Structure 1
Amino acid sequence: MGRLHHHAYIWLGHGDVLVKPGDAHRRPQHKEFLAAQVMPLECADWLLKPASRVEATFDVPKEGADWYVGQLAAYDDLFADSYAVDPAYEETVRVLSAGEDRVGGWWVTGGRFLSLNLIACSPHRVRPEYACPLG
């Protein structure tokens, strides 16, 4: 996949896992990093996770924004007090069009954390040395 595109990643888990103790398992140098289901500390490090973690891939920014907004709607029941999360659709399209990542994270009911990510690939602007996980 040589053209700029974005890979979608989701993590929903208990907040304690984020710091179990410490955050070493969220760093690529750690032996548990590849197997750890938790989100990495640096957004670009999603690209180092196994390809099976990729939820979807988008070549068109508007399609990525549709996915992002759709995921927020799908998880709406997890947000306390049913408050509306503004997905900023137009901002998401702008960010993806610029080759940037779109990352969101929210504490949700039950002490859990929801992380939605659209990570730029081929190349990533901060980590251009990272290869596309899908080859």
Structure 2
Amino acid sequence: MTGPHHHAYVWLGSGDVLVKPGDAHRRPGHKEFASAQVMPLECADWLLKPADRIEATFEEPKEAADWYDAQLDHYVELFVGSYPPRPLYEETVRALSAGEDRVGGWWVSGGRFLSLNLIACSPHRVRPDLACPLR
């Protein structure tokens, strides 16, 4: 990938893993960071994870927004007693077109946490020093 794009990441796991004890394993300097299946503390740090963690890559904001909506539909049964808060589609497209991330995280059934992420790449607005994991 050479131009601006977004990488998609999903994490669904036990909430206990988020704080296992503390959060050092979710920080890039920790020895377990690269292999830890849990989401990183900072959204941009997804780009430091191995490339095989990427669920999909999108050059077009509308395609990325479609993926995000489809993921919410896919996991809807986990939102016991309520529907997931869904950002307006047009707002998601606007944010992605501006090179922003779209990140959502929710506590869901069974004490689990669901994290859906579209992370801007090449460059990331806040962390332009991060290289694309596909290069």
TM-score when scaled to structure 1? Answer: 0.97
1:93 and 2:93 matched: yes
Q: Taking every aligned residue pair, what percent have the same amino acid on both sides?
A: 78
User: 2-side partners of 1:84 and 1:133: how far apart?
Assistant: 29
Distance 1:84 1:39, change over 3 A: closer
Distance 1:116 1:96, change over 3 A: same
Aligned residue in 1 for 2:121: 121
User: 2-side partners of 1:69 and 1:78: how far apart?
Assistant: 15
Kept in 2: contact 1:6–1:120 (CA 8 A): yes
Alignment of 1:59-74 (within 5 A): 59-74=59-74
Aligned residue in 1 for 2:23: 23
Aligned residue in 1 for 2:130: 130
Superposed displacement of residue 84, structure 1: 4.8
Kept in 2: contact 1:26–1:41 (CA 8 A): yes
Superposed displacement of residue 131, structure 1: 0.5
User: 2-side partners of 1:65 and 1:112: how far apart?
Assistant: 24
Superposed displacement of residue 87, structure 1: 3.5
Superposed displacement of residue 82, structure 1: 4.0
Q: Where do 5+ consecutive residues of structure 1 fail to align?
A: none
After superposition, give the CA deviation of every residue in 1:28-74 in whole Å (9 maximum; x if it has no partner).
00000000000000000000000000000000000000000000000
Q: CA RMSD in A?
A: 0.8
